[in-house]
Structures are given as structure tokens and as C-alpha cells.
Structure 1
């Protein structure tokens, strides 16, 4: 097996810099669109054979050094008892937001092996097929809480922050319940065969550092502490989190994911003796080939002092990115980093 990704996570010497891309299995690939045209998004997430197929696509077509399980961070919220719908153009919708104690009491802490059996089956099937490591994942508690409280996506997070500041005990109780569910969910993924685990904190960047310390970080720390016994790399990605790096290093993660809003060399100084993952602007994939290769070369050079470096985008690959541009990036990372 090509274990370059795992070596980089551990800070070991590698022959080249490994690369994978957040959302690499998804809408920018025609092969994905063909499958997605026959099923709804949630149906796809709950169909292990189809999830295996779309997880393998970017590895086989583009030469990625790691696969990430095809799923969604919100399937766990549905398993907790929050009815979930996905609407084209609107994204995820929770029609029964969690905004009071009664709604919170209705949420349960599910048995992950039973409630999300389709995820575990996907992992087991993938381990038979893959020749690169498999990354499992979950949403970080704060990010998941925003969806439950807001009832879907948000730009200002009014309901979330209102609860934080006016009903902090209710907010912390919700975070406790999400955290306990996430621990069980990620442990189940590790038992099923996931070889690394990533927490996606997509909305952490909307928090002031003091609020991140109080309302989000302790729950991330609790999750990673609970996973230490599995001895697999743990990755924490706080989107728009350059201002939170000083705090994120205390998360307990082995690898700190970086968005594109910070120079990678500066980030490495803050992160210290931990591996980093990132951090090309996803839209930089639209550059002409020579300019894209130059940008990648500069980023690799900037990461030369990292304890370990996994090349990635600073967020998910955009759905309108031409796949051939992603292939240029993969080849450039492999070529330029092996020199």
C-alpha cells in the first residue's frame, strides 16, 4: 500500500509530498455526476456500494495519495433523531431546529454501529479495494450545532450565537450530546478500518478566539482525547481559522489543517512539531498550467520546514473546477516535491 500520507501525518520522511483534496469525491467529476443523477444525495450517502464507487473515483482518475470516505457530516445528526433533508440550491435543512430543552431532550446518543451501519459497511468495503489510506471523518461539534440550531446553513449565525450568549447552559448541553455521539461515531469508523480521522470545523472561523476557547475547543479536545488509543492520525481543520491557530494546536490533533488565508511558513512556526495539511486556495486550480505549477512549487517551498506536510486545498474543491486542472495539481505536487 502507498502509505506516504500516513508517514507525513506522523512526521516521518517521505519520498514526495502526498496530496489529497477536500471534497475530492464529488460534483466536479463527471463520473460522480453520472451516479448522482440517479439518486438523491442522502440516498447516495446511505448506499455503501455507490459510496465506494465515488470514493474511489478521484484516487483512480487523479492519483490521490489518500481517499476520504464519501459521506456527509450531518448523517450523524440525523442518526441522533434530527430529521434531515437536502434541497438543491439550499443545502441541508433541519425542519425541527434545536432551540430549547425539550428539543434537545428529544435528541439521542445513537449506537453508531447500528444507526450509521451504512457508513461502517462503506469503510469495510473500501479497505478491500484501496491501495492508499482511507480517511474517516465527522463534523466538529460546534459546526454540527450550528446546523441544528439554525435549521440549516447560515451567514450570520444569529440563532447559534443568541443561544451561546443568552442560554449558555443549553448550548453546552447540546455540545455535550453532539460530542458524545461523535466520539462513538469516530470510534466505530476506526474499528471498521478508517486509517486516519478528520474533524471538519467548517464554521469555527465565525468565533472570536475567546468564544472558540469557551464554546468549541474543549469539545474538540474531548473527542481527540477519547480517540488516542486507536493510534491513527487525527486531523483538525478549522475553516477560516487562521486567527485560531494558536488555540487549535492544543486540540490534540496530530495534523493541523490550514485554509489559504495564512502563509504556510507562518502557520508552521505557530504549529510547531505537528504536521500540517494544506493550503492552496481552491480557486488557484483555475490558473494556467505554468502559473499553477509555480504556485504549487512556492507552497511546497514554504512548507519545507514542516514536521510533516500533506498537500491539500485550503477548503473543498469547487464544483465547477475542471478535473484536468486537479490532475495538473496532483502531478505537479508529486513531481516538484520529489526533486
Structure 2
């Protein structure tokens, strides 16, 4: 990155919040894309993400209440552990055949209404040539944290050709899914930048939060870089066949509302701008973000994911009935026994009924210790609740 490019990225004031920037370039999904062929266009998932609308914008009802789980493809499945044995996480993500198979495993086992692409938010960093590894029981670890203006100026340029293994994995997966939509994803700029500053996971993310105020120009440039690579990561997945995309902001809950508005929201908006106008619904999810849900929505999302800390009824009150929601079963209830879990699931479904659309999910990811049969039974319960409503 040249110094002039760095200063250009840092030029906007951190107090300016352009919530819906113009997309970088107009594009049309390929003719064979499942949204254009109609294979997934009117799936239950997309009807709910659109707030009870079909692909033509007409009022519609889903064939069944859609449900999928964050981290459904992963360590809770014995077939996943067997397949990944001896393969590092990022190597698995960049092996198209393995990534595709892992993405498909929970769809076969659980009968969920969507696949979530198996990858990781730091994949764009690896593709850019940054020395990053995912260490078991630790998470992403960078060999060289990014903490100064010189560090940001030295960040590499990511070529679109680098996404070839990601696109190939998506194409393989979509060919097997048929009418079941694939959801692409990326890490939100704050979360990605937080890992880059800290060099690994952190409890309070003091590094990036300090940088926002101590060196705001460096923060703006770093967050802009992260927004660009995350947005292009999502775009590569959508162009290859994903029918929706979710921006994950795992650590945005560590930022106060004023700092989010001044230093974070515009970068999430920039990431989402890469995939707006393609006809694929966009979801924005974060943990501990109850006080900034409206700002997350205004960054450009069609639907908002809600973590387990806030009821969906309250989320609807804060965001308005026109906002589709996703969530928000407490992952802790997965191990609490069938009676407690069923009562909780029914409460969640009832609380989500006032929103324009509701996609059932967890309020965070599937814990690795989860019994897979519990998830299979949960999916069946959610679909059965819909049948009861129709009866």
C-alpha cells in the first residue's frame, strides 16, 4: 500500500458516518446462479429474510419455518472431526473439496434450511499473504500484529484471483445443494481489525479501541483495508453461487455506542456495499450488540441477527416490525435437557412472530460439545411448530 493510498483511506473524518455508500461496481449474478435460475429464489429462508416477500416482492409465506445454526459445520459433528483429522483449519478452508464436504455435512444430517459456507473470517488475510494461523483452543494468531501507520502501509494488496479456491468450493457446494440456499459470510471490519491489532483473541479489545482515539488516522486506514477484503470475500462467495450473506461482528459488543457510530459503522457499511444490489439478502450479526442494533441495521443489512441476551420481541420494538430477525436460541439450552430446550425454543419462536420475518438460529455458535442429535431434534421441533400453526 502506497503512502498516498494510505492517506486517501484515512481522509474521511471518524465522526462522519456514511451508512449506505455506493457499491464499488455494478454487477449481475451469473445466469447459472441459483437466484437467477430460481432454484433458491423463493426458498423459505429467503422469503423470511425479505420480510415475508417472494423474489418478485409479493407477500408470501415460507413453506416451513427456516432454521439453521451458526457453526453448524464443525466440531460437534463426528464426520467433521474424522475428515479434518491431521489438517490445519486454514488449510481445510482453502481445500475446495474438503470445504465443500464440511459445508454439506450438517445439511444432510440435520435437515436445516440453509448451508453456511465453511471458512473463517481470517481467510482473506491468509490469501493476502499475511502470516496467520488458527491455533487450537486459542483462535487466530498473527505473527506480526498491525499497530502502527507503517504496519498499515505495509499491508499487501489482495488480488481477486486469490479467491479462486473459495469460489471453487462454493460452486461445488451449490451444485450439491439444489434448492437449499448457501449463505456466504465474512468478518466485519472491526472484528477483523481487532484480531490484526491484538495479534490474537482478546477479552476487552483494548488495542483497537485505544487506536481509535490515540491514532485515529491509522485506525481508519486499517478498518478501511479490513472492510475492503471482507467485502470482496463476501462478493466472491455470492458471485460463485451463495444466495445470501452474513457479516459477523463477533467483538463489536466491546465498543460503546458513540465509538461504534464514529469509528466502526461506516466500515461495516463499506464492507456490505460490495454485495448490495445483487439481489441476495444480507444479514448483520454481532454478540453483545443489543445497544447498537439500529446502527448495525443502518449499515446496510436487510436482516439483523440477535444474540441470546435480548428477546426477539424487544429487538422488534427497537428495530421496528418491518425488520426481519434471525436468532436467538441460547446455546446453553442445547445441553439443558429436552423439556427445557423445547420450552425455550417455543418462547423464541413466539417472540419472533411480530417481526416481518424470522429465521430461527442460535444466539451464537454451536458449542463443540453439543450432541448432534439435539440439533437434529431441534430442527424437527421448529418445523413441527410451523405445522401446528397451520393446523
Paired residues for 1:179-328 under 5 Å: 179-272=227-320, 273-328=322-377
Q: Does 1:170 align with 2:226?
A: no
Runs of 5+ unmatched residues, structure 1? none
- Secondary structure of the corresponding residue to residue 298 of structure 2: coil
Shift of 1:251: 1.7
Name the counterpart of 1:128.
175
Q: In structure 2, how many angstroms separate the alpha carbons of the residues matched to 1:213 and 1:281? A: 28
**In structure 2, the residue corresponding to 1:280 is in which secondary structure?**
coil
1:7-42, Cα deviation, whole Å (9 max, x unpaired): 111112213310000000000111101011131112
Aligned twin of 1:156: 204
Q: Whole-Å Cα distance in 2 between the matches of residues 145 and 76 of structure 1?
A: 12
Q: Which structure 1 residue ranges, 4+ long, deviate > 3 Å from structure 2?
A: none
Q: Name the CA distance, whole Å, in 1 between partners of 2:274 and 2:81.
A: 37
Kept in 1: contact 2:163–2:236 (CA 8 A) = no
**1:118 and 2:165 equivalent?**
yes
Structure 1 counterpart SS, 2:301? coil
Give the C-alpha shift of residue 95 in structure 1: 1.1
- Choose the corresponding residue for 1:30, options 71, 78, 83: 78
Q: State the Cα deviation string for residues 210-248 of structure 1 (Å, max 9, x = none).
A: 011111111112222342221100010011111111322
The corresponding residue for 1:10 is 50
Whole-angstrom CA distance in 1 between matches of 2:306 and 2:256:
18
Aligned-partner Cα distance in 2 for 1:7–1:100 = 45
The DSSP-based 3-state class of the residue aligned with 1:142 is helix
Gaps of 5+ in 2: 1-38, 53-60
**Partner Cα distance (1:46, 1:138) in 2:** 15
Deviates more, 1:29-38 or 1:10-19: 10-19
2:158 is the alignment partner of 1:92:
no
| Alpha carbons 2:116, 2:184 under 8 Å: kept | yes
In structure 1, C-alpha distance between the alignment counterparts of 2:212 and 2:196, rounded to whole Å: 13
Deviation at 1:186, TM superposition (A): 2.0
Greater Rg by CA: 2
| Cα distance in 1, alignment partners of residues 309 and 353 from structure 2 | 19
Structure 2: distance between partners of 1:21 and 1:175: 28
Compute the TM-score of the two structures, normalised by the length of structure 2: 0.84
1:25 is paired with a residue whose SS is coil
